[in-house]
Structure 1
Amino acid sequence: MSVKRLTVCGGSGFIGSRICKFAVARGWEVTSVSRSGEPKWSTVTSSDKAPQWARKVSWKQADVLRPATYVSFLQNADYVVHSMGILLEADYKGVLQGRESPVAGLRKAFTCAPQPGNPLERSVPAGTNQDIRPPETRDQLTYENMNRDSAIMLAKEAASANAQAFVFLSAAGGAPVLPARYISTKREAESAIASEFPRMRSLFFRPPFMYDASRLITLPMAALTGVGAFFNTLTRNTFGGVMGAAGVRPLPADTVAEAVVEALQDAEVRGPVEVPEIEELANKSWRKNLL
């Protein structure tokens, strides 16, 4: 059996690094693509030192908003994963230079101003060396360019490179404190990828809130989300539409990552992958490791 090759865009992040870890455990050749290259390990694990498995990952630097910087890392990849996104949007240069506060960015996120269409509608060419953000949001990290457009363009390049399968880390839902565009842009990405690249098996993972002991801030947040999920159960999902992901039981980040790797190797899995199926896939992988 030939060795599988996986490219993870966002592989230095909280969930992306764990996907790399479980893929390495299967003997796959893994390439991580991100702005930073190798992670700052203290931000994704409980140690500031690289774990042993990290030595088997090829850590590459690229800009997901500039396809020409990463297309070479997709060549010969069997599988491609998009594991990036933002919860809040802001003018990142303005924030760094003190010209815009995160609160101003949040206010902007809730506005109803017209938003640019996805890169396929704008006829952005494959392999372009240009930033895929339209001129009106050139300095802005928005839900459109990070949660939608970067995924659509990565899927386009993966399909051109003849990848067998593509995973987009979407979400179970939004939350009352987030603009509706947070989840709507993810659903727009799912729809565009499914319709435009039908020959490539696409999987849209919709995990709930993810937590891990190595990132302490996620533990109390997971506890609060767990309370919301319990309330949602007691009320028979009466408020599910309002609560979004805040009403879904949280999962360990490792569970989601392991499920992603298992799903990539299972040709029967395609389309939206909801929370129950995520847990089922992770359990299936765990049982295999026991044999």
Structure 2
Amino acid sequence: MSAVKRLVVCGGNGFVGSRICRSAVARGWDVISISRSGEPHWDSVTSSSIAPSWAKKVSWQRANIFVPQTYVPYLKGADYVVHSMGILLEADYKGVISGRESPIAGLRKAFSPAKGHSTSNPLQRRDQEGEQSIRPPESAAQLTYEMMNRDSAVLLAKEADREGCAAFAYMSAAAGAPVLPSRYISTKREAEDLIAREFPRMRGVFVRAPFMYDPSRPVTMAMAGATAAGAIFNGLTRGALSSLMGAGGVKPLKADVVADAVVEALADENVKGPVEVPKIEELADKSWRRTML
């Protein structure tokens, strides 16, 4: 009988990360979630404020992704690690929703020039003593695409590789839509390239998810409908507008489908490198069929 697999999900209390935890628990894996706040506020990731029954089987831990000593102990003995953290807009979107920040100010932050944003390999940066260094942000306002989408993933991959993890899954994204800053997708691709190049021993799985939706977040349902229409149109025109539509021309997927695909990809040693939408669906279907046996 094979040993039980251990999975560590950084960002496991988020919209997709929590579903990855659920899928792994259903497979019988030991699951640890790492985030700044610990257990999710369930009404922000599901349709209920009450924790689901599977949540009791997850170890919800608090740590800072930019401070390795706060989470390295949880990586020991892990078979797989998932990075499911990032920001869609360089703005306090919760502040926008609550009225603390105007939507105009948020968009202005998102599309402002990349002043002061580092384009260097985070593993090559050194502090005054010559040690590798990625300085953690002092506040949420300092979070950038480079820090969250790229640097945090590379830093986590470095520690996972050092601990001997077999595979590392990175929640990347399908080609960017024109309504998103180009740096959103470019930093995702930079993270993929750095992880694959710097840690060849560890199997890198880069899940290029499209727009994800779930009934627990009604606003995503309407957006998914519009995105699906764009995908159909793009298909009828044989991808003639792919460069213009970006992710708007890619079929949206339910968040549970993507989560199941992530876990299935980790379990399958033949899955490596970028995982595009058709492969995501294939892996999710394979996962579903496994539950039917």
1:37 Cα deviation (Å)?
Answer: 0.4
SS at structure 2 position matched to 1:162: coil
1:108 Cα deviation (Å)?
Answer: 3.5
1:15-94 counterparts in 2 under 5 A? 15-90=16-91
Gaps spanning 5+ residues in structure 2: where? Answer: none
TM-score with structure 2 length normalisation?
0.91
**Counterparts of 1:274 and 1:99, CA distance in 2:** 37
Could you tell me which of 162, 186, 197 is aligned with 1:160?
Answer: 162
Residues 1:144 and 2:118 are matched in the alignment: no
1:157 Cα deviation (Å)?
Answer: 0.7
**Counterparts of 2:75 and 2:246, CA distance in 1:** 34
Q: Residues 287 and 86 (structure 1 numbering): CA distance in 2 closer, same or farther, change over 3 Å?
A: same
SS at structure 1 position matched to 2:218: coil
> Counterpart of 1:178?
180
> Counterpart of 1:243?
245
SS at structure 2 position matched to 1:88: coil
**Counterparts of 2:68 and 2:280, CA distance in 1:** 29
Amino acid paired to 1:16: G
1:95 Cα deviation (Å)?
Answer: 8.1
SS at structure 1 position matched to 2:123: coil
> Counterpart of 1:268?
270
Could you tell me which of 199, 207, 211 is aligned with 2:213?
Answer: 211
**Counterparts of 1:123 and 1:167, CA distance in 2:** 26
Q: Residues 266 and 148 (structure 1 numbering): CA distance in 2 closer, same or farther, change over 3 Å?
A: same
Asked if the contact 1:240/1:247 (under 8 Å) is kept, the reply is yes
Task: Please tell me the root mean square deviation across aligned C-alpha atoms, in Å.
Answer: 2.3
Asked if the contact 1:24/1:30 (under 8 Å) is kept, the reply is yes
1:202 Cα deviation (Å)?
Answer: 0.5
- Runs of 4+ residues deviating >6 angstroms: none
**Counterparts of 1:2 and 1:223, CA distance in 2:** 42
SS at structure 2 position matched to 1:90: coil
**Counterparts of 2:136 and 2:121, CA distance in 1:** 9
Could you list the per-position Cα deviations for residues 13-37 of structure 1 after superposition, in whole angstroms to 9, with x for gaps in the alignment? 0100000001001111000001110
TM-score with structure 1 length normalisation?
0.91
Could you list the per-position Cα deviations for residues 127-157 of structure 1 after superposition, in whole angstroms to 9, with x for gaps in the alignment? x7x7445x9x984111100111111101111
Could you tell me which of 195, 198, 202 is aligned with 2:197?
Answer: 195
Q: Residues 252 and 123 (structure 1 numbering): CA distance in 2 closer, same or farther, change over 3 Å?
A: same
SS at structure 2 position matched to 1:168: strand
**Counterparts of 1:290 and 1:123, CA distance in 2:** 51
1:214 Cα deviation (Å)?
Answer: 1.3
Q: Residues 113 and 25 (structure 1 numbering): CA distance in 2 closer, same or farther, change over 3 Å?
A: closer
Determine what percentage of the aligned residue pairs are the same residue. Answer: 64
1:110 Cα deviation (Å)?
Answer: 2.3
Gaps spanning 5+ residues in structure 1: where? Answer: none
1:121 Cα deviation (Å)?
Answer: 2.7
Residues 1:119 and 2:146 are matched in the alignment: no
**Counterparts of 1:132 and 1:241, CA distance in 2:** 35
SS at structure 2 position matched to 1:38: coil
Amino acid paired to 1:83: S
1:112 Cα deviation (Å)?
Answer: 3.3
**Counterparts of 1:87 and 1:163, CA distance in 2:** 28
SS at structure 2 position matched to 1:3: coil
1:99 Cα deviation (Å)?
Answer: 9.4
1:288 Cα deviation (Å)?
Answer: 1.3
Asked if the contact 1:132/1:149 (under 8 Å) is kept, the reply is no
Q: How many residues align?
A: 286
Residues 1:8 and 2:6 are matched in the alignment: no
